[in-house]
Structure 1
Amino acid sequence: MGPSSYQRTASETVLQHFRRRRGSEMASTVADRAIGAIIGAAVADAAAQPMHWIYSQDKLEEILSDLEPCPEFRPQSANPFYLRKTGEQTCYGDQAYVLLESLSECGDVNVDDLTKRIYKFFGPGTVYDLPLNDPYRKKGGPKAILPIDGPWRNGSLKAFMRNVDAAKEETGCDTDCQMDGVTKLAPVVAMYAGRPEMLEKVEKAIRVTQNNDMCVAETLVAARFLEHFILNGPDPNVLNAVLAQMTDPKRQNPQELDRAVIAHINQVKDSLAKTSQQLIPAVFTNT
C-alpha cells in the first residue's frame, strides 16, 4: 500500500471521527483542515528537503538568490549532509509517515506497533542503513565524506535503535531535543483535535523516540497551535490564544517546563517585526 492509500485511510478515519462529534457541514470543514494538516506537512517536508540543514547563512542566501520567490522543490539538492531525490522526505517526514501508518492501522497510538514500524522503516536493510548512519559507529573514525548518497538517520533514531536492540522498556532518546516531535505530530493531532486526550496521545507517540522532557514540552505547545488551526481555521490571534491555554492552571497535560515554553512563545511574539537575518543566529542560535 503506497502513501496515497495511507493518506486516504487516515482521511476517512478523521472524517468519520468528526462526523460523529459535530454537524455534517462543520465536520467537513474541520475534517478537511485535519486532512490538510497531514498532507500539508508531508508536502512541506518534501519541498524543503533539497535545502535541508544548510547552516551557513551566507551559503543559504546565495542559494536563495537564484530561487526567489519560489525556493521550494529545488531540482538539485543543496543539502551538505545527504542526497535524496527532490520530492522524497527527510527523516522527519518519514517519521510522520510511519506514525500515520500506525494510526491508520491501529486506530490509536499503539506504542508497541509504532516501535516495531519505526525500527522496520529505519533499521537494518533499509535505505537508511548506510555506514555513516550506523547507530554503533564510533567517534574518531575515518572522516565522513559528505554528502552521503541516501537519507540521514539522525541522533534520536540512532539512540532509539540502540535502546530497542538492548530491549529497554523506554526506547526514546533521553538527550535529544531536536524538532522530530514537532515535524511529525500532524497525524496524531489531526485524529484527536478537540478531544481532551489529544496532548496525552501526542506525548505518548513522541516519547517512543524522544524521551526528553523539554522536547516533549515544546512538541505539546506545537500541538496546541496545530489543534487551534484545525478547529478554528486561520487566526491572527493564535499566539495569544495558545498563551492563554498555557497559563490556565486547569490546562490539559501540564508539564514542569511549561513556564520555559511560555517564555519561548513570548520571545517569538516580541520578534515578529524583525527579519530572519536579524534573528538567526543572534537570537535563535540553534535554528
Structure 2
Amino acid sequence: MALSVADRAIGAIIGAAVADAAAQPMHWIYNSDRLKEVLSDLEPCPEFRPQSANPFYRRTTGEQTCYGDQAYVLLESLSQCGDVDVKHLTKRFYEFFGPGTVYDLTLNDPYRKKGGPKAILPIDGPWRNGSLKAFLRNVDAGKQESGCDVDCQIDGVTKLAPVVAMFAGRPEMLEKVESAIRVTQNNDMCVAVTLTAARFLEHFILKGPDPNALDSVLAQLNDLNRKNPQELDRAVIAHISQVKENVAKASHQLIPAVFTNT
C-alpha cells in the first residue's frame, strides 16, 4: 500500500521513538569487546534487550534515553503551540529535565563539582547529558541564549523528527529546526550536522524510499543558493563523502580506524 506524505511524517516520529527505546538498554557501551559480547546473545534481534547492559544508567526497557525524551518534549511543544515557540520550548525542557524530575539525581546535578566522591555506576534512573546540564545552568543564570555552546553530542539529530515532520516541504523547515536545536545546543557544528540530517529526513518524508537520497542532499549542500547555509557545511560535505566511500565496509573495520571518537 502506497504511503502518503502524512503517513511518512507520522512514521518518522514513531520510528524515532521506537528506535530510541529499542536501543536504550545498550546505550553508551563504548567498549567494543563488551558490545560484541552483549550482541552475541541477542543476534539477530538485539532490540529491546530485557535487561539493561548500559554501563552508565538503568531504565526499564521501553523507556527513552535522554535523547528520546528531548524529542518527546519537542513534539509536545509543537503540538501545543503549532510552531517552534522558543519561550515555550525552553520552559518545557526545564520542567521535564530540571529540579524535582526523574532526571534530578545527585550524579546528574548540573552543579556537581569535579573531584568529589567517585560515582558508582550504573545509576538507577535516567541520565542528564552535558548539553542538558549546561542548558539548566544557563536558564538558572537568566541567559538570553539558553543552549550549550560547547557540547557537541547528537541530541539535535535524534530529536529532529517532530519538527521536520511538521514543516517538511515548507521553505522555513531548516530555520525552524535551527531555532529548536539552539534552545539546548547553541553550537555551530551541532546545528550544521542537524540541518543536514533534517534535509535527509525531509527527502524521505516527501519522496519515500530513494537510493539517490545521499546524492540529492549533497547537491543541496553544494548549492550556493541553498536555504539556511552554515559556515561548516563544507566540513559536513567532506564527512558525508567519506561515509559514502566506506559504506560497503563493516562497522568494525571503520570504528575507530576511520571514524575516530564514534
> Pick from 4, 15, 24: which aligns with 1:49?
24
Question: Which residue identity is paired with 2:113?
Answer: K
Cross-structure match for 1:31: 6
Alignment-mate amino acid for residue 198 of structure 1: M
Corresponding residue number in structure 2 for 1:217: 192
Report the equivalent of 1:228. Answer: 203
**5+ unaligned residues in a row in structure 1: which ranges?**
1-25
Q: Please state how far the C-alpha of 1:284 moved relative to its aligned partner.
A: 1.4
* Match in the other structure for 1:110: 85
RMSD, matched Cα = 1.1
TM-score by length of 1: 0.90
1:249 equivalent to 2:232? Answer no
**How many Å apart are 1:286 and its aligned residue?**
1.8
Q: Give the aligned partner of residue 170 of structure 1.
A: 145
Instruction: Give the superposition deviation at 1:283.
Output: 1.3
Does residue 238 (structure 1) correspond to residue 213 (structure 2)? The answer is yes
Tell me, yes or no, if structure 1 residue 154 matches structure 2 residue 129: yes
Q: Give the TM-score, by structure 2 length.
A: 0.99
Map Cα deviations across residues 9-50 of structure 1 (whole Å, 9 max, x no partner).
Answer: xxxxxxxxxxxxxxxxx9x70000000000000000000000
Which residue is equivalent to 1:181? 156
CA offsets, 1:108-155, max 9 Å, x none? 000000000000000001000000000000011100000000000000
Q: Residue type of the partner of 1:141?
A: G
Question: 1:131 matched to which residue of 2?
Answer: 106
How many residues align structurally? 262
Q: Deviations over 1:149-192 (max 9, x none)?
A: 00000000000000000000000000011000000000000000
Q: Which runs of 5+ in 2 are unaligned?
A: none
Q: Helix, strand or coil: the match of 1:59?
A: helix
- Secondary structure, aligned partner of 2:179: helix
Alignment of 1:90 with 2:48, yes or no, is no
User: What percentage of aligned pairs have identical amino acids?
Assistant: 84
TM-fit CA distance, 1:209: 0.2
* Structure 1 counterpart of 2:43: 68
Q: 1:259 aligns with which of 234, 241, 251?
A: 234
For 1:236 and 1:157, locate their aligned partners in 2 and report how far apart those are by CA, in whole Å: 36
**Moved >2 Å (runs of 4+):** none
Aligned equivalents of 1:53 and 1:235: distance in 2? 31
Aligned letter for 1:33? R
Quote the residue 1:4 is aligned against.
none
